[in-house]
């Protein structure tokens, strides 16, 4: 299945369209307009404001359900946990329709709970297409997300990278930066080694 990259500008996170699923909602609603009839569910990789800033508007425009891991749901209403005050804003204050857990499926994506960047960070895996939507857990340059925010944990992030390093991944679609369509597993293993080296 095709992945459509909707690039985030500046510090705003990328979004991705995969079937009828939109991953993350930090981009401007006008970027999503061409796909509004397709989108049925918005899945948030975590609750930070750069990934959720336009959630209310996009969900309303598309008539879409909102899904987030249960450990990050509070970040949709909490100023501190969402980091919204760092942006001079308030969180979207929306109640999710679906609370996700590790091992759940949404469409043909498997939910992997990958805490570390936040306590409820997730990645979304398509085994069939060998792709991973990785949020801010791991990026396509061999780096990983910060772990100095409320709810973050270096130890948890290291374990999450260990878990992801075992996957057979080609396409890696991160929350920030450019995605890669081949060799994604190498980027994940590079991040794992960087973490193990004691970086940060």
> For the segment 102-124, what is each residue's pLDDT rounded down to a tens digit?
999 999 999 999 999 999 999 99
Is it the case that residue 200 has pLDDT exceeding 70? no
Which residue ranges make up each domain of the chain? 3-196
Residues 6+ positions from 63 with CB-CB distance below 8 Å: none
What CATH number labels 3-196? 3.60.15.10
Residue (of 90, 12, 94) closest to 50 by Cα position: 12
What is the per-residue pLDDT across 63-116, written as a single tens digit (0 to 9) for each?
999 999 999 999 999 999 999 999 999 999 999 999 999 999 999 999 999 999
Residues 6+ positions from 78 with CB-CB distance below 8 Å: 91
Whether 62 contacts 22, CB under 8 Å: yes
Whether 149 contacts 116, CB under 8 Å: no
Rounded to whole angstroms, the Cα distance separating 23 from 55 reads: 11
What's the distance, CA 64 to chain centroid? Answer: 17
Beta-strand runs (E) in 83-191: 98-100, 105-106, 109-113, 122-126, 131-135, 171-174
């Amino acid at each position: 299945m095709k992945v459509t990259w909707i690039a985030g500008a500046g510090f705003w996170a990328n979004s991705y369209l995969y079937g009828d699923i939109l991953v993350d909602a930090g981009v401007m609603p006008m970027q999503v307009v061409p796909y509004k009839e397709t989108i049925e569910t918005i899945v948030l990789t975590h609750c930070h404001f750069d990934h959720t800033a336009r959630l209310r508007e996009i969900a309303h425009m598309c008539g879409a359900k909102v899904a987030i891991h249960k450990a990050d749901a509070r970040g949709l209403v909490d100023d501190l946990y969402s980091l919204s005050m760092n942006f001079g804003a308030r969180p979207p204050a929306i109640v999710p329709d679906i609370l996700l857990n590790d091992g759940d499926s949404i469409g043909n994506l498997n939910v992997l709970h990958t805490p570390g960047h936040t306590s409820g960070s997730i990645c979304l895996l398509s085994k069939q297409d060998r792709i991973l939507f990785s949020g801010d857990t791991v990026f396509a340059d061999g780096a990983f997300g910060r772990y100095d925010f409320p709810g973050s944990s270096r130890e948890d992030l290291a374990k999450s990278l260990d878990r992801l390093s075992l996957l057979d991944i080609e396409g890696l679609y991160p929350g920030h930066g450019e995605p890669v369509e081949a060799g994604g597993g190498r980027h994940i293993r590079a991040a794992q080694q960087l973490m193990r080296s004691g970086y940060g």
